[in-house]
Amino acid sequence: VRLREETHLPIVLVDDPLITVVNGTGKVLDDLELLRKVSIASEWSR
């Protein structure tokens, strides 16, 4: 609850976090343009 309140981001608790990460990774790999949209530039990429 505190994380949601301080960040104003939707927080969802899932039964199987690993499967959630795997599914999200699969979605990004299926759509690399999506990855570009959500990526944050790092010091290394400049």
pLDDT digits (tens, 9 = 90+) for 4-40: 999 999 999 999 999 999 999 998 899 988 788 878 7
Reported pTM: 0.57
Is 1 within the bounds of a domain?
no
- Give the span between the Cα atoms of 35 and 33, in whole angstroms: 5
Q: Considering the domain boundaries, does residue 2 fall inside one? A: no
Residue 5 within any structural domain of the chain: no
Is residue 6 one of the residues assigned to a domain?
A: no
Q: Which residues span the domain enclosing 41?
A: 13-45
Q: What pLDDT, on the 0 to 100 scale, is given for residue 33? A: 87
Burial of 38 (0-12, 13-18, 19+ CB in 10 A): exposed
**Residue 40, pLDDT score:** 76
> What is the tally of structural domains in the chain?
1
